[in-house]
Structure 1
Amino acid sequence: MLKAWIQLIRPSNVLTAISDVLAGVALACLFLQSELPETGSLIWITLSSMLLYTGGIVFNDVFDAALDKIERPERPIPSGKVKQSSAAILGTIAFSLGCFLAYQVNMTAFYISLAIVLMCLLYNGKAKHHFIAGPIVMGSCRGLNLLLGMAVLPDSLSYFYLAIVPIIYIAAVTNISRGEVYGNNKTAILVSMGLYALVILTLIYFAFVSKNYLAFIFILFFTVMIASPLFKALKSLAPQDVRKSVKFGVLALILMNASWIAISGYWVLALAICAILPVSIFLAKKFAVT
């Protein structure tokens, strides 16, 4: 029973939310030439991010219960291990606590947390099955998560446009995921490959501008992690390879965000974020990512 509940929240995915929000904090400090905020604010905003992600991932299965009976009968809800109503309660509690903790930081963070909840529900309830809106709305959840971190220093939100990077990246991953059940989605993979390239070039540009050249090491590892399974999926178009590409695309968010943190000059924090990756990979072997 406990394993089913853990599977429902996808712990390996939730850990990636830590990197999102801390990347936002680091970028805020870079743009404002400020020191890292007090530990209390960092803890609240990180826990808020994890809870908001948990709520979104749980409601994904709540809304997909009927479809999963056909395509994913082994999942916690269609298998009967977790009641749909109980999962909805868990998701609501996670959303509520996430917003409450964001409120403890400041009102700006609170408003962004509400926007994250709205976008998660919009994606799970409506946009998911739309060819264009689905990837964009899903990506917006991650973009807002980056802004949630930046909201710790509200003045940094004048650089809100950086949220487009995680939006593009997650849109690419979401686009690939459409073939994880049946495979044969070559066009989607090619489109996502182009979006990946755009994200990588953006990271390289900011590494040059910030003159934090050691960030290229993080960018290199990020590139290798997403490219290897993607090329394999493109070659085979087999569902298991597509699924693996999606899995590593999600987990590689940790390295992408570590790259942002390194670009901001916080090497120790970037390395600490990278330390999350092996834990996330271990959990991904125990509990499905998609």
Structure 2
Amino acid sequence: MGKIKYYLRLLRPANILTAISDVLAGIALSTASSDAVGIGETDILWLCMATIGLYGGGIVFNDVFDAAIDRFERSERPIPSGKVSVRQAALFGSLFFVFGLLAACTVNIAAGTIAGFIVCAALLYNKWAKHHRLFGPLVMGLCRGANLLLGIAIASHNLLAMGYISLVPIVYIAAITLISSGEVHGGRKSNAMIATGAYTLVIAAIGLFAYIHHSFAYTLSCLVVLVIVIYPPLFRAMLDADAGNVGKAVKAGIIGLIVVNAAWAMASSAFVLTGIILLLLPLSICIARFFAVT
């Protein structure tokens, strides 16, 4: 029983809730289309299970590939502390990937294909791209953009019409990933400035989508909450980019993902899904007190 907590630390459960919110937002966007038919609760459940597997596997392999570096920089993590071996972690992550792929394939071929892309992109990021200033943020952003598409794929005929929306989480996650490069030794103030611009673009894009779909008045409340969550710690990191401020900015950005996804759902007038997504926010904040998000 004692070892379970170390496997949970590998999974970063607060982050997994943000991945679930991605999928729920994608489903909400898909239902915003007049062509969305035949969406059932079972498929919603399978897609939520799929993202748990895919994101869980990706985040475990993050620690697998970083095991050598973490011995010096983050020795408290489960692998370098000796609580979980590299082999055990790799097996654990692989099982999550397989589960995620199978769950996605249960819904339809499009969802299964997207899930396969997410697995490949996650491994590419963890093994190589994360160490590159340009490709790291880009590949991580692609993972999240695909995760939103996973939700949209619940009605696969909507993918071509709404696929462009996946560019927004790519921008948002790329900004977080850029900031996170300074979590250990401190970052660059310029990274925080770039992230500020990226966040602003994301908010503007959601606002425009809501305006076009005649739901701006509803969506504005979510956007205001998002501004309150993400900007203050980001501005502090811009003024003083030490490791502590950068870490708080990254944490706020990750938690803010739930608010971003709630805004997408609200913009789609999917009020029930908006409520479910927002319920994930206090739960994620609570869990983040016990398990690291980075």
* Range class of TM-score, shorter chain: over 0.9
Does residue 140 in structure 1 map to residue 134 in structure 2?
no
Which residue pairs with 2:130 in the alignment? 128
Q: Does 1:183 align with 2:186?
A: yes
Moved segments of 4+, more than 2 Å: 31-36
Is 2:265 the counterpart of 1:261?
yes
* From 137, 149, 152, the counterpart of 2:151: 149
Partners of 1:184 and 1:176 in 2: CA distance: 7
Contact 1:262 1:270 survives alignment (8 Å): yes
Report the equivalent of 1:94: 96
Cα root mean square deviation, aligned: 1.0
The DSSP-based 3-state class of the residue aligned with 1:76 is coil
The aligned counterpart of 1:108 is: 110
1:36 Cα deviation from its structure 2 partner: 7.4
Shift of 1:2: 2.1
For 1:217, the equivalent position in structure 2 comes to: 221
Instruction: Tell me the CA shift for residue 225 of structure 1.
Output: 0.6
Displacement of 1:235 in angstroms is 1.7
* Distance in 1 of aligned mates of 2:144 and 2:52: 12
Equivalences for 1:186-201 in 2 at 5 Å?
186-201=189-204
- In structure 2, distance between residues paired with 1:225 and 1:33: 34
Say if 1:12 and 1:284, in contact at 8 Å, map to a contact too: yes
CA shift digits 1:145-179 (9 cap, x unpaired): 00111111011101211110000000000000011
1:23 match:
25
- What amino acid sits opposite 2:97 in the alignment? F
**Secondary structure at the counterpart of residue 151 of structure 1:** helix
Kindly indicate whether the alpha-carbon contact (under 8 Å) linking 2:53 and 2:100 is maintained by their aligned counterparts in 1: yes
Instruction: Give TM-score scaled by structure 1 length.
Output: 0.98
Match of 1:169 in 2: 172
Out of 217, 237, 252, which is 1:233 matched to? Answer: 237
Whole-angstrom distance in 2 between the partners of 1:47 and 1:184: 35
Match of 1:58 in 2: 60
Unaligned runs of 5+ in 1: none
Using the TM superposition, name which of 25-34 and 123-132 deviates more: 25-34
TM-score (structure 2 length as normaliser) = 0.97
Specify the SS of the correspondent of 1:211: coil
Give the Å deviation of 1:35. Answer: 5.8
Q: Which amino acid aligns with 1:65?
A: A
Code of the residue aligned with 1:112 in structure 2: it is I
Deviations 1:237-286 (Å, cap 9, x if unpaired)? 12111101101101110000000000000122202211111110111110
Gaps of 5+ in 2: none
Q: In structure 2, what residue type is equivalent to 1:168?
A: V
- Name the % identity: 45
What is the letter of the counterpart of residue 78 of structure 1?
A: P
